[in-house]
Amino acid sequence: MYIFKNKKSITITYVVLYVILSLNFRNINNYYFSKLHEYEIVGSKLPILKIEDIEGKVKNVNNCNKILIIDLWSNSCGYCIEAFPEFQKVYNYYKNDKEVEVFSVNVDDSKPNRMMGHKLVKKYGFKNFFASKEILKQLKFNTFPHYMIVSKDGKIKYFGSLNTSRVETYNNIYDLVQNEK
């Protein structure tokens, strides 16, 4: 049994499929990687994360009844550094929102690397903190960059890539934060 009666209907079908897949490539890609890298921490309570500012002042991350958007990065990650301008846009979007806090965490133990990391982010407006590699065990991940959204009730709602384009409707950072409000 033939589904297509002639070559013209086959061509039209392929063109329609091509257009649908082209327009939804980012969403399909986001869905694929979210399923490939499903993290068991999503839905769980945020563990107490110990972070420090550049002066060494220690802060424990908790949600303080705010939605947290956290960029987890490393100096050795070129993709992390390339994503700073896009993360700055996220920061700019939420900087006056009293319900949302946006900051980055550079995962590095050594003082010289912290200074280099500080130089990389000081031209951006978002706050940058530092954490030891213990955070990798606490959050059960080992690659960079990762972005995390924590709800007001302290649960990790998202852990993955920085999807900010309006054509990215699957796991779009702005949509995920709006769903938490």
Beta strand extents in 11-143 (DSSP E only): 49-52, 58-61, 67-73, 100-107, 127-131
pLDDT of 100 above 50? yes
Do 23 and 50 belong to one domain? no
**CA–CA separation, 57 vs 107, rounded Å?**
16
What CATH number did the domain enclosing 95 receive? 3.40.30.10
Range of the domain at 53: 40-180
Pick the residue with more confidence: 122 or 164? 122
Q: Look at phi and psi of residue 134 and say left if phi exceeds 0, alpha if psi is from -120 to 50, else beta.
A: alpha
125 with 168, same domain: the answer is yes
Tell whether 131 and 53 lie within a shared domain: yes
Q: Quick one: angle between helices 25-36 and 7-23, nearest 10?
A: 70
User: What is the rounded average pLDDT of the residues 161-165?
Assistant: 77
pLDDT in tens, 42-65: 888 988 899 998 888 888 887 678
Q: How many domains does the chain have?
A: 2
| Per-residue model confidence (pLDDT) at position 110 | 78
* Structure tokens, 131: 């954490």
Of 75, 165, 172, 76, which is closest to residue 128 (Cα–Cα)?
75
| pTM, two decimal places | 0.77
